[in-house]
Amino acid sequence: MEERERALHVVAVGGVVVRGDAVLLVRMAYGPARGQYLFPGGLVEPGETLDQAVAREVLEETSVAAEPIGVIGLRTRYDGPRSDTYVMFLLEHRSGEPHPDGQESDDARYFGLPELEAAGDAVTGLSRYVSLRVLRGEYCLQRFAADFDYRAAGRDPERWRIFC
């Protein structure tokens, strides 16, 4: 029972930003993935939906404005009393060139298929796997349900979102 009382669950997002035939990755400057490339992203803050969080995180970490298209992956895990849910979104590049934020990451750039295939341990396993699938067109997309009648359901579509 004591372990359950200290249980912690967080929700994080990762942005799979595609521009042309390449995916945006950042090289982490701290933590267990230090020195490796992965998707820009982070924790969802109170007062934002998952898609709002991923667009914010991508902009903060890379200076790239990108539009979420839909959910392309979900990873869930637990380690003792700690667990997390990581939701990956496919985003379309809108504007800006990648620049690292200088705090969480020290590099931000687009990787094409040949670079990803040869990257080895320079890219985290999850980011490499998902990036390769995206660039090869081997993914399923859960889009924002724009045709759902949010107003009739008494919901604000900026605060209550469905992806299906």
What DSSP letter does each residue of 54-118 carry, written as one string? HHHHHHHHHS-EEEEEEEEEEEEEEETTEEEEEEEEEEEEEE------SSSEEEEEEEEHHHHHH
For 1-51, what is each residue's pLDDT tens digit? 354 556 699 999 999 999 999 999 999 999 999 999 999 999 999 999 999
pLDDT at residue 160 greater than cutoff 60: yes
| Average confidence (pLDDT) over 125-141 | 97
Structure tokens at 41: 């992203």
Q: Global pTM?
A: 0.92
Please report the pLDDT score of residue 80 as a whole number.
Answer: 86
Please report the pLDDT score of residue 1 as a whole number.
Answer: 39
Please report the pLDDT score of residue 4 as a whole number.
Answer: 52
Report d(CA 69, CA 43) in Å as an integer: 19
For 65-118, what is each residue's pLDDT tens digit? 999 999 999 999 998 888 999 999 999 999 999 999 999 999 999 999 999 999
Q: What is the residue-averaged pLDDT of the chain?
A: 94
Residue 70, CB-side half-sphere exposure with 13 Å CA sphere: 13
Sorted by where each starts, the structural domains of the chain and their CATH numbers stand as 2-143 (3.90.79.10)
